[in-house]
């Protein structure tokens, strides 16, 4: 009776006939993978250090690795892919680059370069196939914002649109390229951390912005939100913590039901620092980081730790239900959920 009551009240998914497993697809590649774009159940692109970009077109069975010529030493922290031919990669630090391929990675075109010693791009996201946004750490207290309306062929600096100055020591983390989230129609969320943590929100393609407080762990250069995701315009999640203390679970996950205006702690936290989070459906979420991976099957209220394996990023297929995780040493795994 006590076990039944516990199951009903606190952890229904622990008692369900659901099992989870992680299957390795690639390992021991000399790159730290942080960029991840799962296009479909068959097509996925990854990017990382040492100028590395990887692609699968058969669901992860085989991978093609490439290094854009002339950019072999660049750290490509984020990637956005549209199909097996078209992808955009972002090299984060000075000089910062944005490259695009339209032939599956055979050739790459440089569409943006910034040699400012202070430039540091954190992530990109697209509202649709043509309109996208990239953001970066502040320069002179101003968050850097770039926008494209031609599928990444050109980028316009729209930093002036965000008229709110960032606090000293406030910036974002490029741990997985997912401290930014967009939804169709121009909705955008950007999470910052460090000395303070905020959520910057735009409903009109980055023209106007609001700022909401995010009460996640903060106050130090290694603390704050490291990943954000929204299931719809109201329901979202943010994860993070302290990457220097990656096994601590203090105030490292928050949920919102009003589009990021307010945030609440779940009934139980994720088990340690997390740098990636994704919705599989309205109830099922996956969070991962250097100290392991957790799953929730009740909207993020309770979490089950399923692996101690280290990862940086996690994402569900845009068209499909395949879930991939990526990390250091070229690690790419697939999540399986079996009943």
Query: pLDDT tens digit string along 171-217?
Result: 999 999 999 999 999 999 999 999 999 999 999 999 999 999 999 99
Q: For 7, list phi and psi in degrees, rounded to 5.
A: -65, -45
Closest-CA residue to 180 (of 51, 40, 276): 276
Token representation of residue 18: 């659901």
Residue-wise DSSP of 100-121: EESSTTSS-EEEEEE--TT-BE
At 337, the pLDDT band (50, 70, 90 cuts) reads: confident
Which residues, in sequence order, are CB contacts of 293 under 8 Å at separation 6+? 22, 286, 287, 305, 306, 307, 309, 311, 314, 325, 335
- Mean per-residue pLDDT, 211-227: 98
The predicted structure's pLDDT at residue 13: 43
Tell me, what DSSP letter sits at residue 329? Answer: G
Token representation of residue 90: 């972002």
Which residues, in sequence order, are CB contacts of 227 under 8 Å at separation 6+? 175, 176, 178, 179, 191, 238, 239, 240, 274, 275, 276, 277, 287
The predicted structure's pLDDT at residue 129: 96
Tell me the whole-structure pTM to 2 decimals: 0.94
- Mean per-residue pLDDT, 284-303: 98
The predicted-structure confidence for 142-152, as pLDDT tens digits, reads as follows 999 999 999 99
- Mean per-residue pLDDT, 207-228: 98
């Amino acid at each position: 009776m006590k076990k039944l009551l516990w199951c009903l009240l606190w952890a229904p998914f622990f008692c369900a006939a659901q099992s989870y497993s992680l299957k390795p697809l690639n390992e021991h590649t000399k790159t730290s993978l942080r960029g991840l774009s799962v296009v479909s159940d068959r097509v996925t692109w990854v990017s990382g250090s040492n100028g590395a970009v990887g692609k699968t077109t058969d669901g992860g069975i085989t991978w093609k690795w490439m290094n854009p010529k002339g950019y072999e030493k660049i750290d490509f922290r984020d990637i956005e892919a549209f199909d097996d031919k078209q992808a955009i990669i972002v090299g984060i630090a000075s000089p910062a680059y944005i490259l695009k391929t339209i032939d599956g990675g055979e050739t790459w075109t440089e569409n943006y370069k910034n040699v400012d010693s202070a430039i540091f791009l954190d992530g990109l996201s697209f509202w649709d196939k043509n309109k996208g946004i990239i953001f970066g750490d502040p320069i002179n207290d101003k968050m850097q914002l770039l926008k494209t309306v031609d599928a990444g062929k050109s980028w316009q600096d729209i930093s002036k649109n965000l008229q709110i100055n960032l606090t000293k020591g406030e910036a974002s983390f490029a741990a997985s390229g997912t401290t930014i989230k967009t939804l169709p129609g121009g909705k955008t969320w950007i999470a910052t951390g460090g000395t303070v943590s905020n959520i910057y929100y735009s409903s009109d393609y980055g023209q106007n912005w609001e700022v909401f407080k995010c009460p996640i762990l903060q106050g130090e250069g290694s603390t704050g939100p490291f990943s954000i995701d929204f299931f719809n315009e109201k329901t979202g999640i943010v994860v993070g913590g302290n990457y220097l203390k990656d096994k601590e679970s203090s105030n490292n996950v928050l949920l919102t039901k009003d589009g990021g205006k307010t945030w609440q702690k779940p009934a139980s936290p994720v088990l340690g620092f997390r740098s990636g989070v994704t919705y599989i459906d309205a109830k099922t979420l996956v969070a991962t980081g250097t100290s392991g991976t957790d799953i929730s099957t009740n909207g993020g209220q309770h979490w089950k730790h399923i692996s101690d394996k280290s990862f940086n990023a996690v994402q569900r297929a845009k068209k499909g239900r395949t879930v991939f995780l990526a990390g250091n040493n070229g690690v790419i795994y697939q999540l399986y959920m079996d009943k």
